[in-house]
Amino acid sequence: MSTQQQQPEEPQSQEAPEDPEMRGAESPVDEKEKQGGDIDQQTTPEDELEGETVHIKVFRYDPEVEGKQEPRFDDFHVPFEKGMTVLDAVMYARDTYDSSLTFRHSCRQAVCGSDAFFVNGKQRLGCKTQIADLEQPIRIEPLPHQEVVKDLVVDMDHFYDQMHTVEPYFQDEDTPNPADLEEQRQSPENREKIKMSSRCIWCGACMSSCNIAAGDNDYLGPAAINKAYKFAMDDREGEEIKEHRLRILEQEHGVWRCQTQFSCTEVCPKDIPLTEHIQELKREAVKKNLKFW
Amino acid sequence: MAERYSSFAPGGTAWLLQRITAAFLVVVLAFHFFLLHFVNHAAEIEFAGTQARMENVGYFLTMVLFLVAGTFHGVNGVYNALINQGLDGTQKKVVLAVLVIASLALIAQGIYVATTMAGWT
Amino acid sequence: MSQSYNRGLIEDFGRWKEFSAGMWAWIFHKFTGWMLIGYLFTHIAVLSSSLTGPEAYTNTIGGLESLFIVRVLEVGLLAVAVFHILNGLRLLMVDLGVGLEAQDKSFYASLVLTAIITVASVPTFLDGVTL
């Protein structure tokens, strides 16, 4: 956190020029063809688009392009359609006005977890957030507390590292009995217990919202702890491996760092009760240690 | 890796103690405020009254325990706040040492004052 | 990746208007906690006047209590302590896994209760002192 930079309120905002002559008289289509990949003029005047439009302000940064090394916000006006999501809006802006606008996305149905953005001051999944529910202009920024690589793309390495720390895969110390090799059954109750925790899509919204994860880089974070919960609570894993999992979680930068601010629970696009899971693991860890006394 | 972990998990113990002291402090702090601001008006406190209270062994022990629990809860809270901000390495050790020394000094001074109040010195 | 941009503590304090109940509860709890541990040290220091003798103790406390500003600070201390107690109870419930879905409401409840108790205590705390 040595190069902390204060976020400018409106860094060199690319507002549409007031003077009508400066806007150019061409239609939006002509404008697009003329400009091509020019990144300096993405603004489309609102009155040139027919029907209802959505005003979005998108965070721009690119260390490799001279004009974008200082972060700024670009304004786009995209035509509104019923059921339009934030992801739809930025995709329209990219496809129509500025092909250099960069963001991750893939499945468009809240499964791949690629498009978590900071929308109007909250971590949300772009494809799961309705434009109609948001106040305009809609500010779309990359996830906070992660380094920005380009535009809305953040460096997820640290998040993935924390996820891998908790060994997020099924393991068993003993080779199963040959009779059980075909399938390892789970009781419906146990499945129900870990149901919510298994919904995680690794989008990183929770980690980004966590005030403690922002300050303490070693903190495992809500997503990793939830992932550990999924396996620790799974009855198909033995007691020994559960203990091993708890040992990872009960380190100084494990579950104890959670301050129950509920930020992660509130932003989780899959409605996982993250705080509840972390709290349960704290109690499990305490119980395990009390047994030794 | 096994030797890095032991059955004694300092994080968990501190967390549990923080909660146990919290439960105790909730009751005693409320009692303390009530006794010394509502039952006895703070402005009318005189040494004689203080001594009369402190002479009671039960009250004396409660106050000592109150001090110890309060100091632990408060200082551990401060320490955790700093860890949450990413305090690490030598700095962390120094802060911990300073906090422990300050706590011990506070508790020692507090117990000394309380015995004086009770008139046992 | 040649370079990346660190947006630093964006959200942490500049966006306080967007903080949720749980975040505010945490900020208040930390703040009141710092006040209380600070006061504990001061408190023991003031009470240490009893080491000099009974009169010194009585005079020190009487002298401090005769100051209007001290009385106001005491009301503040009460508010801080009451909030810390009530929100502390809320946090104990959260730790026990009870009523997590109502954690925001219980935070507002502790704020309101703190306000009521503080206001109700003002006459007692300011009794017999003038500006």
Question: How many C-alpha atoms does A68 have within 13 Å on its Cβ side?
Answer: 25
Residues in chain C within 8 Å Cβ distance of A63: 2-5
Taking an 8 Å cut-off on Cβ atoms, the answer to whether B5 and A247 are in contact is yes
A199 lies in the same domain as A131: no
CATH number at residue A222: 1.10.1060.10
A 274-293: CB under 8 A from B: 282, 285-286, 289, 292
Do the Cβ atoms of A97 and A77 come closer than 8 Å? no
pLDDT band at A32 (very low <50, low <70, confident <90, very high): very low
A134 lies in the same domain as A232: no
Nearest CB to C5; choose among A145, A148, A276: A148
Residues in chain A within 8 Å Cβ distance of C26: 211, 259-261
Nearest CB to A217; choose among B13, B16, B86: B86
pLDDT band at A270 (very low <50, low <70, confident <90, very high): very high
Gap between the Cα atoms of A105 and A146, Å rounded? 17
Nearest CB to C58; choose among B22, B23, B46: B46
**Crossing angle of the two packed helices C54-65 and B47-54, in degrees rounded to 10:** 110
Nearest to A207 by CA among A151, A152, A256, A162: A162
Residue A180 has pLDDT above 90, yes or no: no
Q: Which residue type, as a one-letter code, is found at position A137?
A: P
pLDDT, mean over chain A: 83
pLDDT band at B88 (very low <50, low <70, confident <90, very high): confident
The region of weakest confidence among A156-160, A183-187, A194-198, B76-80 is A183-187
The model's pTM is 0.84
The region of weakest confidence among A4-18, B83-97, C78-92 is A4-18
Nearest CB to B26; choose among C37, C48, C85: C85
- Reported ipTM: 0.88
Residue A224 lies in a domain: yes
Rounded to the nearest angstrom, the minimum Cα separation between C108 and chain A is 14
Gap between the Cα atoms of A119 and C90, Å rounded? 30
Residue A164 has pLDDT above 60, yes or no: yes
Rounded to the nearest angstrom, the minimum Cα separation between C31 and chain A is 14
Closest-approach residue (CA) in chain A for B5:
A247
Query: Which among C7, C26, C31 is the top mutation candidate for probing chain A, defined by the most A β-carbons within 10 Å of its own β-carbon?
Result: C7
CATH number at residue A150: 3.10.20.30
- Which whole-number Å values give the CA distances from C10 to A134, A136, B44, in the listed order? 21, 21, 50
Angle of CA points A245, A248, A250, to nearest 5°: 105
What DSSP letter does each residue of chain A carry, written as one string? Answer: -TT--PPPSSTT-BPPPSSHHHH-SS-HHHHHHHHTT--S-----GGGS-S-EEEEEEEE--TTSGGGSS-EEEEEEEE--TT-BHHHHHHHHHHHT-TT------SSSSSS---EEEETTEEEEGGG-BGGGSPSSEEEEPPTTS-EEETTEE--HHHHHHHHHT--S---SSPPPGGGSS-----HHHHHHHHTGGG-----HHHHH-HHHHH-TT---HHHHHHHHHHHT-TTS-HHHHHHHHHHHTSTTTGGG-----HHHHH-TT---HHHHHHHHHHHHHHHHHHT-
Q: What is the mean pLDDT of residues A208-220?
A: 90
pLDDT band at A49 (very low <50, low <70, confident <90, very high): low
A123 lies in the same domain as A165: no
Q: What is the mean pLDDT of residues B11-40?
A: 92
Q: What is the mean pLDDT of residues A52-77?
A: 91
Is pLDDT larger for residue B36 or for residue A12? Answer: B36
Q: What is the mean pLDDT of residues B42-62?
A: 92
State pLDDT tens for residues A88-137: 999 999 999 999 999 999 999 999 999 999 999 899 999 999 999 999 99
Nearest CB to B9; choose among A212, A250, A259: A250
Residue A71 lies in a domain: yes
Taking an 8 Å cut-off on Cβ atoms, the answer to whether A289 and B15 are in contact is no
A123 lies in the same domain as A164: no
Q: What percent of chain A has pLDDT over 90?
A: 62
A 41-80: CB under 8 A from B: none
Residue C88 has pLDDT above 50, yes or no: yes
Residue A258 lies in a domain: yes
A146 lies in the same domain as A217: no
Q: Give the single-character DSSP code of C101.
A: G
B 75-114: CB under 8 A from C: 75, 77-78, 81, 102, 106, 109-110, 112-113
State pLDDT tens for residues B12-26: 889 999 999 999 999
pLDDT of residue A20: 40
Closest-approach residue (CA) in chain C for A279:
C95
pLDDT, mean over chain C: 89
Closest-approach residue (CA) in chain C for A261:
C22
Rounded to the nearest angstrom, the minimum Cα separation between B88 and chain A is 9
Rounded to the nearest angstrom, the minimum Cα separation between C1 and chain A is 7
Cα A146–chain centre separation: 10
Q: Is B4 on the interface with C (CB under 8 A)?
A: no
Gap between the Cα atoms of B87 and A252, Å rounded? 12
Annotated domain spans of chain B: 13-118
Which two three-digit tokens encode residue A221? 């974070």
A198 lies in the same domain as A150: no
pLDDT of residue A45: 53
Closest-approach residue (CA) in chain C for A260:
C22
Q: A75 is in which domain, residue-wise?
A: 46-154
A106 lies in the same domain as A50: yes
Closest-approach residue (CA) in chain B for C33:
B74
